[in-house]
Structure 1
Amino acid sequence: MTPERDNASSIFPISVLPPAVYSADNTPTAIDSVDYGAASLLLHIGVGGITFTGANKIEFVLTHSDDNVTYTNVTDDDVIKDALAPATISNGIVRSLTAAHAAATVQKIGYIGGKRYLKLLADFSGTHATGTPISAVVVRTRAAFRGAA
């Protein structure tokens, strides 16, 4: 293997939403990015367990913090969005499931805000008798030193 083609040594993923079938809010885990220059969120959503509506929905809320105590919602200035994200980030919502979700999707969101900590909440509203498969990973890159974990 040629070192210049090695990407695995320069990415540092952390699970923020372990793969599972969810039907209620998760407890967000803080992701520390102190030794990294960049972070991206990969959000994998399986086929919806219900037909989502404006009342029975899942909203994915991304927050950030300088001190791991006081978290605020990200805004458009804090993220680079893909086509699956809302046109405008409001209340930190980086993805909203409000209509049928018949096929699995993977969404990428680049974090460009200047805060040290990130949290992702899968916020369930309404009735979810059948859960939806979800997972999320934050991929940290541009480590400040060799041997970062």
Structure 2
Amino acid sequence: MRDLHSNLQMVQSLDPAVTLTDRMGAPIDRQGYESVEHLVLVGTSGDALSPTLSLSLRLDESEDGSSWAPVGNDSDVVGGPVDPGGLFAVIDNVAADGGTYAIGYIGNARYSRVAVLLDGVHATGTPVGAVSLLSHGTLKPHT
């Protein structure tokens, strides 16, 4: 099939919610798919973001869906770079919130997820949600 709709499987990986503490996205199982793209939607923060009051987005991988490690290799991602700790975005100023951040995982682990990490004390919070798109599946259509 040539249309995009029949070639993608969409999974909500992080419920949209005002974020006041660290949050780990749901494990995304890549079995039956060759690629996954994680999309993180960040709303306008109620806090005055700064280098000491920030949100970071990290990509994690796992062989079993329970033991996780940060993806610290640029060769395992598309749309990077990632730092050695797996961070692919740091939102530390007002100009950086209210955006969409994307990272593709092409490493060898079966599972991946996005983590939202907070630095500093967030009093009001920031709305954050995430979806993951699975593609290049062995069976089509996916919907």
TM-score (norm 2): 0.88
SS of the counterpart of 1:12?
A: strand
Q: Are 2:107 and 1:113 aligned? A: yes
Which consecutive unaligned segments of at least 5 residues does structure 2 have? none
The Cα offsets for residues 104-142 of structure 1, whole Å up to 9 and x where unpaired, read as 211221111111001211111211111111111110001
CA contact (8 A) 2:35 2:106 kept: yes
Q: Which runs of 4+ in 1 moved over 4 A?
A: none
SS of the counterpart of 2:94?
A: coil
Residue from 47, 56, 66 that aligns with 2:44: 47
Which consecutive unaligned segments of at least 5 residues does structure 1 have? none
Match of 1:79 in 2: 77
The Cα offsets for residues 82-121 of structure 1, whole Å up to 9 and x where unpaired, read as xxx6x55230111111222465211221111111001211
Q: Separation in 1 of the partners of 2:89 and 2:98?
A: 14
- Paired residues, number: 142
Q: Separation in 2 of the partners of 1:47 and 1:109?
A: 20
SS of the counterpart of 1:114?
A: coil
Alignment of 1:1-149 (within 5 A): 4=2, 6-75=3-72, 76-81=74-79, 88-101=82-95, 104-146=98-140, 148=142
TM-score (norm 1): 0.84
CA contact (8 A) 1:40 1:139 kept: yes
Q: CA RMSD in A?
A: 1.9
CA contact (8 A) 1:48 1:101 kept: no
Between the aligned residues of both structures, percent identity stands at: 27
Q: Separation in 1 of the partners of 2:71 and 2:112?
A: 9
Shift of the alpha carbon at 1:41?
Answer: 0.9
| Letter in structure 2 aligned against 1:42 | L
CA contact (8 A) 2:36 2:134 kept: yes
